[in-house]
Amino acid sequence: MTQYLLQIALAGIAQGSLFALTALGLVMIYNASSVVNFAHGAMGMAATYVAYLLITKWQAPFALAFAGALVAAFVLGVVVQTLFLARLRHAPLMSQVVVTLGLFMLLEGLLGLAFGYNPRPMSESIAIKPVILGNLVLRPQDVLELALLLVLGLALAALFAATKVGLGMRAITENPYAAQLMGIPVGRVLAIAWGVGVMLSAVVAILAAPMTSVTPNMMDTIVVYGFVAAIVGGFGSMAGALAGGLILGVVVNMIDAFVAPELAMSIVFGLLLVVLYVKPDGLFGRVQVQKV
């Protein structure tokens, strides 16, 4: 029994890394531009179609297709920020949320028009062997998800700690007006934050594609769990988003194994309400004090 539990928890952590990466992207965009990006999953999905086309139409090797999708994701993020959200920088919060929801519908609709809603298969990306830890097994996709979370987590930490762009993002989170006065090119830094954030979503979508298939709504479930992970983590803390995602992965896998997979999201939202009752700023969030 213990071994069964541990095995489920391990698979949960691996699946949770997808939620964590989604939440990291959401929080990164939120911290820089104070926008909750409801089009996050759809933008990652759109980039996945680039990889899909490169692989099926032009027989590109996986690594090239992956890189192509990441470039597309970065460009999409930059375009959305500079073309749409930069114009709404001083508009009410409502307008910013509404425009990302509109983009979500637009992207899903356009890709549905172009490719239809029939799921298109995407084969396993990289051939790796399962890893055996004692009497626990890590499936190849688990290994890949955990490895990418580790690599990207470290890369993000390095970005924020050691690069000018990362420092700029932190300064903008702290105080956008002062950041501008200090000579930080706010527009450019925001565009990069959006680009990198959407790249994270694309990574998740491509990792998930062998399981979900490539469809316009492939990211809908994952991105909702990403929102939950970000809220649990305090919506603003990168470490919180990471922890929230991993915990949520374990919870979802436990529900799938012991309760009912078809009720997973309902139960998760029930738990989220309880968390919000008890700790309104999430499990890892700082208490927010609004300045007037």
Partner 1 sequence: MNGAVVRSAAIALVVLCAALPILLQAIGERQVYWLFVVSEFYVFAIVAISLDLLMGRSGQISLGQSGFVALGAYTTAILNQRFGVDLVVGMLAGASVAGLASLVLGLPATRLRGHYLGIVTLGFGIAVDQIALKWDSLTGGDQGIHLHRPVALGLDVGTPVRMYYVALVALVVAVLLVWSLTQTRIGRAFAAIKDSEIAAAAMGVPVARTKVLAFIVSAFLAGAAGGIYAFLAGFVAPEDFGIDSSLLFFAMVVIGGMGSIPGAIGGAVVVDAIRTTAATVSGLSLAILGGMIVLVVLFFPGGLKGWLRARARRTAHAHAPKAVVTQDA
Nearest to 226 by CA among 248, 206, 209: 248
Residue whose entry in the numeric block shows the structure tokens 């996986």: 62
Nearer to partner 1, 16 or 168 (CB): 16
Q: How far is the CB of 237 from partner 1 (least distance, A)?
A: 14
Q: Distance between CA 22 and CA 227 in Å, rounded? A: 8
Q: Say whether residue 36 binds partner 1 (CB under 8 A).
A: yes
Map the footprint of partner 1 across residues 184-203, applying CB under 8 A: none
Residues 230-249 that bind partner 1 (CB under 8 A): 231, 235
Alpha-carbon span 198 to 200, nearest angstrom: 5
Site for partner 1 (CB under 8 A): which residue of 64, 106, 137, 155?
106
Q: What is the 3-state secondary structure (H, E, C) of 198-222?
A: HHHHHHHHHHHHHHHCECCCCCHHH
Stretch that binds partner 1, among 71-79, 91-99, 159-167, 188-196 (CB under 8 A): 91-99
Q: How far apart are the first and last CA of the chain?
A: 54
Q: Residue from 19, 38, 66, 74 that binds partner 1 (CB under 8 A)?
A: 38
Nearer to partner 1, 58 or 117 (CB): 117
286 binds partner 1 (CB under 8 A): no
Record the tokens describing residue 233, joined without a space.
């983590």
State whether the Cα torsion 18-54-109-96 is positive or negative. positive
Q: Alpha carbon of 198 to those of 42, 44, 173, 216: distances in Å?
A: 10, 6, 18, 16
Closest contact distance (angstroms) between CB of 167 and partner 1 is 25
- Using the minimum distance from each CB to partner 1, give the nearer residue, 84 or 160: 84
Q: Is 163 in the site for partner 1 (CB under 8 A)?
A: no
Which residues of this chain interact with partner 1, rule CB under 8 A? 36, 38, 84, 87-88, 91-95, 97-99, 101-113, 116-117, 216, 220, 224, 227-228, 231, 235, 260, 262-263, 265-266, 268-270, 272-273, 276-277, 280, 288, 290, 292
